[in-house]
Amino acid sequence: MLFCVAQNIAHTGPVSGRAAEMTWSSFSFSCIDVAWSFLALCFLAAFCAHKILPRKWETNRLYLLFQDLIRYGKTKQTLKRDNWLRAFDVPKRWFSHFYAISVGWNGLLLAIYLNFIYHHQSFPSWLTGLLDILTGVPSTDSQVPQLSTVLVQLLLCVHSLRRLLECLFVSVFSDGALHLVQYVFGVCYYIVLGLMVLCSDHLGKGSGSLLSQLDWFHVAGSVLFIWASLMQHQSIVLLAGLRTGKSGTVETLAHRLPEGGWFELVSCPHYLAELLIYVSLSLIFGGLSLTWWLVALYVLFNQALAAQLCHEHYISKYDSYPKHRKAFIPFVL
């Protein structure tokens, strides 16, 4: 199928050199694409399994283990678990660790890339070797700096820093927990994510100065990123406001019915905003990076599962919960 697509592209007539190179590179299915496809399918399977498995299995140990691995925070609190499962709990507030690691790691990768651009210094050997393994393409000395790479690295740092500050100074965490496996996965995810940016750069063949590479998709992707970030921040502020008074002091750790903003349409607008943020990053790569669309696909299924669990929790807890609200995507899911 990919070969046919490539053939069609080759016969559509003349295109710019940069666009042609991006198109050809986007259809090289590497080991990292296989990994992201596998992750996306795993979360799709988990979503489907949660929806179709009969609730009479609630006392089954394998079913409980499955539910324990996909739930966190408030959706885990109502799960009847054995003590041996609780031994793997870590505080949900440790979410801040993900973003702290991401700020440091992606900031380092951004600094290395800027050093490559402005001081013409090669990547460290350990990083070059890692990128060669992940992409299956050997490094070359003729690699041209990519504007898309700089923008995505910068926006990832901005996103991680904002989420870290929100975790530390806005969000009010209760005693909710997440599984140790989820915690380790989250740490690894944000480390790998930064490498994915450089992998896309590793395969890119754009030419010219950074400014000359500026295209409409860089602007459109950046605008979508800003809008989705503001939407996510507003949702997090509204959630925090359910537990604080007008003075900003914490009044309760109980879960209340969220209202206002995008909560009028979906139960988890902050998860929808997360998906839009990743779509914006894919767009900044010209919409032609298969790897980043697979990352966005993984985020879609991952956030859809988390949103469905939250949606079910709200429905079971509030008899008057608005029936028109969807879990994740307005009017759809």
Over residues 189-245, the pLDDT tens digits come to 999 999 999 887 766 666 677 888 889 999 999 999 999 999 999 999 999 888 777
pLDDT tens digits along 20-78: 344 434 445 678 888 999 999 999 999 999 888 877 677 778 888 898 899 988 888 77
Query: What's phi and psi for 256, nearest 5 deg?
Result: -120, 170
Count of alpha carbons within 13 Å of 34, Cβ hemisphere only?
Answer: 6
What gap in Å lies between CA 292 and CA 193, rounded to an integer?
Answer: 10
Closest of 278, 281, 265, 241 to residue 332, by C-alpha: 265
Residues recorded for the chain: 333
What is residue 41's predicted lDDT score, i.e. its pLDDT?
97
DSSP 329: S
| Tokens linked to 105 | 């790691």
CA dihedral 126, 129, 130, 136 (to 10 degrees): 170
| Tokens linked to 195 | 């490498």
**Element (DSSP H or E) covering residue 151:** helix 147-169
Whole-prediction pTM:
0.86
